[in-house]
Structure 1
């Protein structure tokens, strides 16, 4: 685009900012409730519906609480929720078998929500860390994260979730080859309409800390995730990962974290023109909430501005813990 801007005073760019009506007419990007995916934490462990200390306003929910959240999403017009399990430590093992148990917590919640609120799309998380006694997204042997063996586990996990009724599978593990393997398996099983949103550009970020508290992975994690999650200094690599996952069968792609990586969101949308999402992760949420709760910023204003930034960068939607609060503001 090569804009033609006549010289001042023929052009006074402030003319279009003079009133709220003119600003509305000239606004290029807007935030809608339809742009939101609401991540929720679920658990069978006693103490549900108690706030996560590092995420003010966010709670772990029982199965019944998750169903109520889905009903709330439907009432507010939020099109999708994403499930993240807090797994009983007694079920965590090095082999992660609970991940593909048809009756594990996530799969029971999927079935319960689909029975009560079928119009709300359910997105899942596909990674082994909630079930891994090592806290990693993949199987570990002698300190090494195993790629191909992990992919076999992820396929079984994806199949169990698709069988339970999941609408969107969200592989967040960053193993090579998992999108193609999952797509082949779900197609062969007749789940042709199940969509895949690949966490294709997921960075080895320090912004995930509160999330790991929420799912109980902080204490379990041994080492770091830098051998499979992306180097925060890389951008071209993100485009290669996106291209690979799209060619392997992903329907949508995600950039994670969100606000520190808006340049990646822009490059992905600009390069591929595919449904592109970002995850406003727990650390981003915690920082905004912390500043708001201390009176350092206007909480509602920065919340809305941060989400509008994702739309401006090219995102079609955002996973955000602010979803119900934003939906109410937009509705009003």
Structure 2
């Protein structure tokens, strides 16, 4: 039996097979926010001074005000990177007075309830900008690398960091940092190691933080043609104590997000990182007006959430959050 098309109050015909969208009360009942400010994390690239940069950066004095604004918008977290002051054999990577430590303190002082993520890595602290230390013959020194990164992680936890991000992707790093934290009384500090695909999408951030490698960093990353390696690395990270896993670049790891999460490969939250190259593409390197790219941005962030992301790290967090807090519910 044929049924005449239903109409909305304004006379628009409903031609779909379901009448659900014709009832405002039902649409409101079924509505689920695909994305909220609490789902977002803002990377803060902390520089010693204000300089021209290919991506947004802040000085140490600007960390507090920036974090307070993000907290006011309901943003869930910030992820802090900071430029090292010395770059000789690890420089001040393991120093309790390194710029990163001061930045963490500033963020926690400004908004104690906002989650603070860190980068546990050496690329801003070595003369070669490598993520690892080498011996006198230029060979990778595994033990020394673990020791420095463990000490760095402990200092980050001592000043209030909530989630540490082992990013060097060296064997055993997650487990080593976990053991150092546990021994230091920080069993409640979470670990989110980075699962990094080799890509040129990081170039903007590396240039801004003076961390562009003088050599091939691919040996400590996963080649885009090796998804099976990425799965194996993720499983090993979980076995070593990872509480969650960061995937980067977000745009190039969307298949891994679905594969690792929906397929049950790992049972921890997955957090894609929309890296500097994605920011540059979306904003035309900061020259495009936010009103022009906001629809694309929100759709992209919602897609990551829909694909299984527990949260999303993006340089566009502030604009997205400002938009979302004003977004009306469906009528």
State the partner residue of 1:106.
Answer: 100
Q: Cα–Cα, structure 1 residues 216 and 97, in superposed 2: closer, same or farther, change >3 Å?
A: closer
Q: Cα–Cα, structure 1 residues 124 and 292, in superposed 2: closer, same or farther, change >3 Å?
A: closer
The one of 252, 259, 266 equivalent to 2:251 is 259
Distance (whole Å) between structure 2 residues aligned to residue 28 and residue 313 of structure 1: 15
The one of 283, 291, 300 equivalent to 2:294 is 300
Q: CA deviation at 1:140?
A: 2.8
Q: What's the secondary structure of 2:219's corresponding residue?
A: coil
State the partner residue of 2:59.
Answer: 62
TM-score, normalised relative to structure 2? 0.86
Distance (whole Å) between structure 1 residues aligned to residue 169 and residue 16 of structure 2: 45
Q: CA deviation at 1:62?
A: 2.0
Cα deviation digits, residues 221-265 of structure 1 (max 9, x gap): 211111111111111211111111111111111111101210001
Q: CA deviation at 1:293?
A: 4.1
Q: What's the secondary structure of 1:97's corresponding residue?
A: coil
Distance (whole Å) between structure 1 residues aligned to residue 288 and residue 104 of structure 2: 37
Q: Between Structure 1 and Structure 2, how many residues are aligned?
A: 308
State the partner residue of 2:184.
Answer: 189
Q: What's the secondary structure of 1:326's corresponding residue?
A: helix
The one of 121, 127, 130 equivalent to 1:127 is 121
Distance (whole Å) between structure 2 residues aligned to residue 180 and residue 13 of structure 1: 53
State the partner residue of 1:230.
Answer: 222
State the partner residue of 2:81.
Answer: 84
Question: Higher helix proportion, which one?
Answer: 1
- Structure 1: 5+ residue stretches without partners: 1-8
Cα deviation digits, residues 22-81 of structure 1 (max 9, x gap): 87776777011111111011122x3x2x552x23xx2x2222200111111111111211
Q: Cα–Cα, structure 1 residues 166 and 180, in superposed 2: closer, same or farther, change >3 Å?
A: same
Contact 2:65 2:110 in 1 (8 A): no
Q: What's the secondary structure of 2:179's corresponding residue?
A: helix
Which one has the largest radius of gyration?
2
Q: CA deviation at 1:138?
A: 0.6
Q: CA deviation at 1:115?
A: 2.6
Q: Cα–Cα, structure 1 residues 316 and 206, in superposed 2: closer, same or farther, change >3 Å?
A: same
Q: CA deviation at 1:114?
A: 2.1
Q: Cα–Cα, structure 1 residues 13 and 314, in superposed 2: closer, same or farther, change >3 Å?
A: farther
Contact 1:198 1:250 in 2 (8 A): yes
- Structure 2: 5+ residue stretches without partners: 6-14, 327-331
Matched, 1:40 2:32: no
Please, what is the CA RMSD of the aligned residues?
A: 2.5
